[in-house]
Amino acid sequence: MPNPTAAMLVIGDEILSGRTRDANMHYLAQELTKHGIDLKEVRIVSDDAPAIEAAVKALSQGYDHVFTSGGIGPTHDDITADCIARAFGAHIDVRDDARALLQAHYDQSGLELNEARLRMARIPDGAALIDNPVSTAPGFTLGNVHVMAGVPLVFQAMVASVLPTLTGGKPLLSQTLRVNRGEGDIAATLTAVAEEFGDVSIGCYPFQINGVFGANVVVRGTDGSRIDAVTTRLAKELGL
């Protein structure tokens, strides 16, 4: 059976403006790879409700899982929860269990659970809460969409909460060959081996160091013996 598939939706004007560098995609890709879920697509959209809703609908229909980051905080531009609810046709309001979590947190902190902070307890009907051990305000899962914070530390904690609940497949394995020759010199060999071993992915990533061209050839797959076979074959063909 093939591995489950996933997509990621990164939400926020600050990402598209270049003000903030997204770190969550890199982290999620690594964690999904270890869990045997194949990340197939990543989209970045602005804080625009129709764009968020359209992207959620398309990705939810196209992949087994969708992970979102950003837009679930206490400010006016945190609109992700409402957009997810509309995408699924679900009612959304402050939910008692989420409110209780926030109330306990802010009582302990000596801060007021004001109207702005209470926005973080607005959860669509039918959603399951995602635990947030860092700052308490929960994410949620609705259908196959896992809605998480954009702050990297909180996002990582939420991923750690969700992944054990998901059925994974075979972890993706890889080996790398460093070749001190340009892509044009090794392309024919890579093509021939890739055609022979169709169940293994071969990627070629060029570099230049001190004026010398080379490439890292990365062999990926879920069967370690096949990866070994391809890596050995390439090493021989390329004279390594």
- Listed by start position, the domains of the chain span 5-165, 173-237
Q: Please choose, from the candidates 193, 175, 174, 187, the residue with its C-alpha nearest in 3D space to the C-alpha of residue 213.
A: 187
Query: What is the pLDDT, as a whole number, of residue 240?
Result: 86
pLDDT of residue 211: 83
Residue 2 has pLDDT above 90, yes or no: no
Average pLDDT on 226-237 reads 94
What is the pLDDT, as a whole number, of residue 209? 87
What confidence tens digit (pLDDT) does each residue in 145-187 have?
999 999 999 999 999 999 999 999 988 899 999 999 989 999 9
C-alpha span between 174 and 231 (Å, rounded): 10
Residue 1: pLDDT above 90? no
Distance CA 132, CA 223 (A): 35
Question: Roughly how many angstroms between the first and final C-alpha of the chain, as a whole number?
Answer: 35
Tokens of 106: 């802010």
Cβ–Cβ < 8 Å for 15, 180: no
Integer CA distances (angstroms), 48 to 13, 44, 79, 151, 161, in order? 9, 11, 8, 19, 28
| pLDDT score of 226 | 94
Nearest CA to 196 among 240, 237, 145? 237
Residue 201: pLDDT above 80? yes
Strand 212-221 relative to strand 201-209, pairing: antiparallel
* HSE (side-chain half, CA atoms, 13 Å) at 232: 6
Q: How do residues 82-126 score in pLDDT, each as one tens digit?
A: 999 999 999 999 999 999 999 999 999 999 999 999 999 999 999
In the prediction, which pLDDT does 165 show? Answer: 94
Q: Using a pLDDT cut of 70, give the percent of the chain over it.
A: 100
Global pTM reads: 0.87
- The verdict on domain 5-165 having CATH code 3.40.980.10 is yes
- Tell whether the model's pLDDT for residue 222 goes beyond 90: no
* Residue 212 confidence class, pLDDT cut points 50, 70, 90: confident
Tokens coding 198: 């169709």
User: What angle (nearest 5°) sits at the alpha carbon of residue 86, between those of residues 83 and 4?
Assistant: 75
pLDDT tens across 32-79, in order? Answer: 999 999 999 999 999 999 999 999 999 999 999 999 999 999 999 899
Q: What's the CATH fold of domain 173-237?
A: Alpha-Beta Plaits (3.30.70)
